[in-house]
Structure 1
């Protein structure tokens, strides 16, 4: 299914009542206590690691580059790699937060069997979650669009630094201008040099699913299989605005599975939620570990 660029969601969101949140967490605990849980996560889970999200409360409107723009234009690829080269060190330096660690702990306790993540930051694996499907790929890998060879992003970063000496150092970008995929706002990229694939000389692209690009069907099928075999679905840190993730919530609902949503602010998963905890992921998931980890 093609990812599309949706309209931004409303920004003003009133904080949830603490007593109400406590009750929601208790209800979530009761739903998840039986184990057999598959987690679906989004950008809201990584905000406490310093990675901004696209649609959370207070997030500025962002327009990510589409697959069509990237593939049809040398100038677009130059703009993408120039911006991404500057922002990469911030993404590479990000570390798992309490939310990632909590999901890993719930996995170790036998509560969460697997994680489907829409994030491309690799933090679930770093935190220790055993079975993770990266629905939209991983920024730590680069793929050649011609020969399909995969290579580490750190290697490309080194090559771009050699081809563009001093570029990152002379480009001062405020933290507010960093996007969830590590892209940053730089207007003038005309003198940036893009390097080709070392294997065939072809066009390099981050191994992530761009907006307007299809998620690989085998990956989607694997995620459906995981949901089909689950007892419950835990949705954490996603507004489910993009269908590529929301389809698994709809699948769970169609199967009659309970759905626990942990997300601050509005989410399109709410209509299918058995429980909606209107609070941040790190604190809420850590509280669930306290409730469920000892009982498992």
Structure 2
């Protein structure tokens, strides 16, 4: 066996051990059920969650035994805290700065690629993702809505409403700015590529590193900068919610992949689909908030199902 193949197998085993909860292999009947469910639904609306990205090496929050909440008492930063406290913003960005080189290098897996193929073959209407990791775009999908935003863009939140300056910058470009202000931590950011990171791409670092970190302000209005994601405690923009509602109305069914639907923004999609009498199906390892509502629930790893479709 050549070295490249050994490294790929080693990487796959590492991901399975640390990011994917224990599960049984998908059986032929499960695959047949989903195949039959999709065969007469060319306008299926696919909802994806963290469970499809764990196979790329991005940990999730809630999976049994391997999710961040299971392995530590860490809680993600809350939006009101981020807006209110310079120290919390500084801590967030210092951790994100050191985690970005590895997080941004994560690649899509079979499920992302399969969904991109389905879109190309006009076998789905749209993807609504709860993830902020940009992996659907990397896989080649075009028709997707990022319910909670995207960590690959940085925006100014220094002013509210009409007075907001509208400044934004690509996260890769912002990383270069952060490097210019934090040369002593730049080398450490490269070293951290070998470390594990949290679901949103940040890493655990020392209080000394946080103290040394310099966080620049918006160059247009000197306001505060944040990634273009919906933090816990924040609200999804109303135009995005309205878009998803219209997608549900125009679909012929819902397929949830890799989400426990514990966050209401995802659970609400199932509630709205059931109100409209639409068929619903879930593929996820472990229980979900909507198991009692859906027509089909398959307890399996998403790629085990998707690779056979």
TM-score, L = length of structure 2 = 0.84
Structure 1 stretches of 4+ with a deviation exceeding 4 A read 11-14, 171-177
Query: Aligned pair in 2 of structure 1 residues 152, 17: CA closer, same or farther (>3 Å)?
Result: closer
1:23 partnered with 2:19: no
| Equivalent position of 2:38 in the other structure | 32
Local SS of the residue matching 1:80: helix
Could you tell me how far 1:287 is from its partner in structure 2?
Answer: 1.5
| Equivalent position of 2:198 in the other structure | 179
| Equivalent position of 1:102 in the other structure | 114
Please say if residues 38 and 230 of structure 1, whose CA atoms lie closer than 8 Å, have aligned partners that are also in contact: yes
- Which has the higher relative contact order, 1 or 2, with Cα contacts under 8 A spaced 6 or more apart? 1
Local SS of the residue matching 2:33: helix
Aligned with 1:258 (options 265, 279, 282): 279
Could you tell me how far 1:137 is from its partner in structure 2?
Answer: 0.6
Kindly provide the CA deviation profile for residues 38-97 of structure 1, in whole angstroms up to 9, marking residues without a partner as x: 000011111111111111232131411010110111100110000000111112101111
Shifted more, 180-189 versus 65-74: the winner is 180-189
| Equivalent position of 2:166 in the other structure | 148
In 1, Cα distance between the equivalents of 2:211 and 2:25? 50
Could you tell me how far 1:24 is from its partner in structure 2?
Answer: 2.0
Could you tell me how far 1:130 is from its partner in structure 2?
Answer: 2.2
Kindly provide the CA deviation profile for residues 103-127 of structure 1, in whole angstroms up to 9, marking residues without a partner as x: 1111122221100001111111221
Residue pairs, 1:181-220, within 5 angstroms: 181-188=200-207, 189-220=210-241
Please say if residues 101 and 193 of structure 2, whose CA atoms lie closer than 8 Å, have aligned partners that are also in contact: no
Stretches of structure 2 lacking an aligned partner (at least 5 in a row): 1-18, 159-164
Residue pairs, 1:56-205, within 5 angstroms: 56-57=63-64, 58-61=66-69, 62-146=74-158, 147-170=165-188, 177-188=196-207, 189-205=210-226
Query: Aligned pair in 2 of structure 1 residues 140, 267: CA closer, same or farther (>3 Å)?
Result: same
The number of residues matched between the two structures is 276
Shifted more, 84-93 versus 171-180: the winner is 171-180
In 2, Cα distance between the equivalents of 1:271 and 1:13? 22
Could you tell me how far 1:14 is from its partner in structure 2?
Answer: 5.8
Please say if residues 30 and 305 of structure 2, whose CA atoms lie closer than 8 Å, have aligned partners that are also in contact: no
Pick the structure with more helix per residue.
Answer: 2
Could you tell me how far 1:173 is from its partner in structure 2?
Answer: 5.2
In 2, Cα distance between the equivalents of 1:203 and 1:128? 32
| Equivalent position of 2:6 in the other structure | none
Query: Aligned pair in 2 of structure 1 residues 180, 264: CA closer, same or farther (>3 Å)?
Result: same
Could you tell me how far 1:174 is from its partner in structure 2?
Answer: 8.7
Kindly provide the CA deviation profile for residues 218-258 of structure 1, in whole angstroms up to 9, marking residues without a partner as x: 00110011011110101001110000111001111221111
TM-score, L = length of structure 1 = 0.88
Could you tell me how far 1:201 is from its partner in structure 2?
Answer: 1.8
